[in-house]
Amino acid sequence: MITEMALERAEFTCGRCWFDWSIDYDVQQYSDEGGTGTWEYFSRDGIPVPSPYTPAGASPCPACGRHWVGRLLARRLIPAAPGAADTPREKVTDAARHRPERRGAPLLGSTAHTQPEQPARLPEGTSTAGVG
């Protein structure tokens, strides 16, 4: 049974070239049938992926290709239906013809949001020691 659904934005910073980027993940938390465990299911653009917060799900740096574990930047809970009795809702009377534009709408990609601003890059071999 699904106990929580959310959209989580994970931020990554490359420890090699200091490139910053972020990716949105759909996350479902659920309990197994026997109630003996709670699990998380991550996906990107509808494709199952490992947790970005673990080495197995570490994202490759878009600039240099090294893999880095993410950290949670923000999240938005997605309410599960049906919700409270006064929750706004609309009955679908003709499922085959209900909002047909949804079928052809482009998918919203997990990196379609505005990315973090990049800091000025230091020349190779330059150190920030003693600055500031």
7-41: pLDDT as tens digits: 999 999 999 999 999 999 999 998 888 778 889 99
80-102: pLDDT as tens digits: 777 677 777 777 788 777 778 87
- What's 60-80 look like in SS3? ECCCCCCEECCEEEEEEECCC
Predicted TM-score (pTM) of the model is 0.73
Six-digit token pair at 125? 């071999």
